[in-house]
Structure 1
Amino acid sequence: MRSFLLLFCLTTVYFIVDAAKILVYCPSISKSHVLLCAKYADLLHNASHDTVLFIPSYSSLLNDYDGAKHAKVWRLHNVTDAYDKKFDSFADVMENSHIGFIDRMTYDVDFWMDMCEDVVKQFDRLQPLIDYQFDLAIFNDIDPCNPAIVRSLNIPKTALLSRLPTLPSYVPSMEENPNHDRMSFFERMSNAYKYFQSIVVHYLQDRRVLHIFRKHISPDFPSITGIIRNVSLIMVNTDEIFDISRSYSPKFVYVGMIGAEKHANVTLSEDLDKIFSKGKLGSVFVSFGTVTPFRVLPKRIQSSIFNAIQKLPDYHFILKTVPGDTTTAEMFAGVPNVDFVNWVPQNTILKHEHLKLFVSHGGMNSVLETMYNGVPMVIMPVFTDQFRNGKNVERRGAGKMILRQTVTTETFYDVIHEVLKNNNYETAAKRISRMMKSRPFTPEERVTKWVNFILDHDTFDHFHLESNNLSFFEHNHLDVFFVFIVLPFVTYFVFRRVLKSSS
């Protein structure tokens, strides 16, 4: 008995010594975004770390949602009303047939700045985070203010939730870019242009954020680019089986599909099971996420989906709406093969044997969950990486993509009908599913082991990319190009001038 108590005490001391204080910093910009943060927080909590999910409230719709089941959750309410005000502008963005460079330099750059300044002006409310003396902070760079906020908390080590680097010769840029890795010459020209746009927009965002922090926090606050370059680890929310292959630093770790296995034996409620079991030939789930619910879609897109549902009576459609949306129900009054839901356990309904297709906006979480469960997709992307995700689904043969500016009355019917009738899409989706489920290492193993590794070691110098110290000209060999190509021509013409003048 005494030896058992001694072993118990030693084990307890071991866990206390090895446990770290970890902060997951996560503004509430969408439900799926908060849920993803909660998965990291719960995972690290269950790995014996003292983990805190900190949520500054941006969206009032998410004031009571945190998604965490185990980790501590700290909220900061009444931070800003700017996000709710800007949310209404999403409908205008959806209606635009094309978001040009000037639009991006105004809309994309300006969008986050009001929220950022509101948080920084109340920085004293973040003092408990500083006092807690965290060992590691995990954050994302969707909101360009996040890296600077976390830097201001004086946390020694950081992990970034982000994406792999873009190589414009064969990797599509993130911004409204419906390309894949097999691009023609003109597609590569377009991709290079969009990549240039991305560089300019992010530079302007970083300058605006830096101005806010140098004004309110410190006049010598470091650059945002420098903060991101010095993170200890970058966790990428995608899967190597699905994503485009490319070269990358050891700092980048694939961790997409956290928590997939725990949903394997979860069953739907009786009501939801009954809804998804309807339809002579199966059911179709339609959801464009919490940021762009059905009611904010342009009327022509709503009408196209309405037309498709009416023309496919042998399939039952489940359309995700938001609380208080009465206009969608009124639109579909009298249509028998449709039901409405405000929320579903998405990873669970994707396992439903009667589900034949998922119509989605192509968010990374939705795409990965759908591919993991072997369900074909129809994607109409709205923002950023959703275009590349949709094109990659096409590239893998697991579905089709629709560009919102091309949608007409028959568009959704034609594409949905094609994917449902052609078995090749389902075959490809199930093939990807089998590969994802048999990966050598689970995302949970990668997250916990890499986090423990960077907590135990100073990895900055070891994994630091020397390219971070190179200028734009050096990084792209433009200086070498000048010496070997341009300079000989200049020398030749100078030499000819000298010969002429001497003769």
Structure 2
Amino acid sequence: MTDEFLEVQRPRMPNFVHIGSLGLEDENDSGKLDKNTAKEMEKGEDGIVYFSLGTTMNSSMLQPFVMRTVLGAAKKFPDYHFIIKIDAHDQTAKEFSKGVDNVFVTDWVAQRALLKHPRLRAFITHSGYNGIVESAMCGVPLVTIPFMFDQIRNSLAVEQGGWGVGLTKEALRDDPKMLQTALNEVLSNDRYKKMAMRMKNLLKTKPFKAKERLVKYTEFVLSNGGMKELIAPSRHLSIIKLYNLDVYLFLITTIFVFIYIPLKLTSVALFKTNRKKHKTR
């Protein structure tokens, strides 16, 4: 599932339909912040920065430098309060957070409710697709740190959309200051917030919601016995034609016949000529 506004743009077949925000469009289904988190959201003179690696990536399984760099960056922004979401078994992150006054470490948070909070200024994320969609729907600028799979593409889509700054996970190890620089860019440059709000408006005002598209196009396809008219002819090509193997074979043969063989013959001729001269001497 993808959303056309949250994708790296590229040519697509006409039988491709976007339903990326399916299940996330109901604004009343965002839940509520618990009392502790709600209280933490009032801290920080300049607002809140949220960090999370989602629900499937356990922070306790990461190398220590990841959380050390994140918490080290938090120290550099004393006017912001950081909500750091980790898994319950991450004792390393808890140790690193000791003595950092502007950090609240927790193993659970109602993410959609937090993203909608007016005091949230930025979200440091691993670029999981649900988090990207939720952030876009709430108009929250991002600092993305992709780790695997589709996260790299999601991060690139955010950068291309102009509502976030991307880092590689290796940067957290090789140059920890890059996280500080990226976060400072997002917090101090208004254009990221403006582009995030534009993304929110684009998703909110789309003429057809994901659920409508799913239902209507499914009914459309079923009532017409499939959509063979939209199938690309390449589906029926042989492997040789599909990957132009015949063209490559022709080029390789041409190079072999007109370049390699003449060079080889010339080399042999020169070798024999030199050999005769050597015998004559």
Q: Which bin holds the TM-score, normalised by the shorter protein?
A: 0.7 to 0.9
Secondary structure at 1:366's aligned position in 2? helix
- TM-score (structure 2 length as normaliser): 0.81
C-alpha distance in 1 between matches for 2:22 and 2:163: 21
Report if the CA contact (8 A) 2:125-2:142 is conserved: yes
Report whether the alignment pairs 1:388 with 2:153.
Answer: yes
Report if the CA contact (8 A) 1:397-1:425 is conserved: yes
C-alpha distance in 2 between matches for 1:269 and 1:291: 21
C-alpha distance in 2 between matches for 1:245 and 1:489: 37
- TM-score (structure 1 length as normaliser): 0.47
Report whether the alignment pairs 1:444 with 2:200.
Answer: no
Residue in structure 2 matched with residue 340 of structure 1 by the alignment:
105
Higher RCO, 1 or 2 (CA under 8 Å, sep at least 6)? 2
Residue in structure 2 matched with residue 433 of structure 1 by the alignment:
200
Report if the CA contact (8 A) 1:286-1:317 is conserved: yes
Amino-acid identity (%): 32
C-alpha distance in 1 between matches for 2:33 and 2:8: 37
1:4-63 deviation line (CA, Å, top 9, x unaligned): xxxxxxxxxxxxxxxxxxxxxxxxxxxxxxxxxxxxxxxxxxxxxxxxxxxxxxxxxxxx
Paired amino acid for 1:417: N
Report whether the alignment pairs 1:269 with 2:33.
Answer: yes
Paired amino acid for 1:317: F
Residue in structure 2 matched with residue 85 of structure 1 by the alignment:
none
C-alpha distance in 2 between matches for 1:244 and 1:347: 24
Q: Which runs of 5+ in 2 are unaligned?
A: 263-281
Report whether the alignment pairs 1:466 with 2:230.
Answer: no
Q: Which runs of 5+ in 1 are unaligned?
A: 1-236, 497-503
1:402-442 deviation line (CA, Å, top 9, x unaligned): 11112233232222122111112111111122112111211
Residue in structure 2 matched with residue 257 of structure 1 by the alignment:
21
Residue in structure 2 matched with residue 61 of structure 1 by the alignment:
none
- Paired residues, number: 257
What is the deviation of 1:468?
A: 2.2
Paired amino acid for 1:238: T
Which is higher, the Rg of structure 1 or of structure 2? 2
Quick one: structure 1 residues 452 and 386, their matched pair in 2 at CA, closer, same or farther if it must change by over 3 Å?
Answer: same
Match among 218, 221, 225 for residue 454 of structure 1: 221
The residue correspondences of 1:343-382 to structure 2 (distance < 5 A) are 343-382=108-147
Report if the CA contact (8 A) 2:33-2:113 is conserved: no
C-alpha distance in 2 between matches for 1:473 and 1:465: 17
Report if the CA contact (8 A) 2:140-2:196 is conserved: yes
C-alpha distance in 2 between matches for 1:239 and 1:317: 29
What is the deviation of 1:358?
A: 0.6
Quick one: structure 1 residues 258 and 399, their matched pair in 2 at CA, closer, same or farther if it must change by over 3 Å?
Answer: same
Report if the CA contact (8 A) 1:260-1:347 is conserved: no
Paired amino acid for 1:382: F
C-alpha distance in 1 between matches for 2:249 and 2:89: 62
C-alpha distance in 2 between matches for 1:334 and 1:366: 29
Secondary structure at 1:241's aligned position in 2? helix
What is the deviation of 1:311?
A: 1.4
Secondary structure at 1:253's aligned position in 2? coil
Match among 311, 315, 323 for residue 76 of structure 2: 311
